[in-house]
Amino acid sequence: MYAIFEDGSRQYRVSVGDRVKIDHRSVDLNGTVELSNVLLVAKDSGLEIGKPTVEGARVIGTVINQPGIKQTIQHYRRRKASKRLKGHTQPYVELRVEHILLKGETTPAKAAPTTEATPTA
């Protein structure tokens, strides 16, 4: 199962468990991001193609990384007008895709941790 969604001016093809870098959002680390601009969903039963988007479909991911501060590089020589300053860090958020859901589907509840009984002798 995979989905194609649009974020900003780019389109991404993702499956559950994939890591993807998208445009920056103000979300905390380990926070959840829901992307609803899904263009196509492919399941075992077939394709669901949106016109232009698949109604009710969404991709849910968890933030696993955010970039640091901007890096600058400065070249300076002692001659007149011989300086150069450059550097750029594109702000992004790295997600791990947790769920791909269609209309009416909800995220599966996390299973309660089971405690295993230890045999006593």
- Map out the domains of the chain as residue ranges: 2-101
pLDDT at 81: 78
pLDDT at 61: 94
Query: In the structure encoding, which two tokens stand for residue 117, read together?
Result: 């009984």
Q: What is the pTM of this model?
A: 0.72
Q: How many other C-beta atoms lie within 10 A of the C-beta of residue 12?
A: 18
pLDDT per 10-residue tile (average), the chain, 121 residues: 93 95 90 93 90 93 84 82 82 92 80 62 58
Q: How many other C-beta atoms lie within 10 A of the C-beta of residue 50?
A: 16
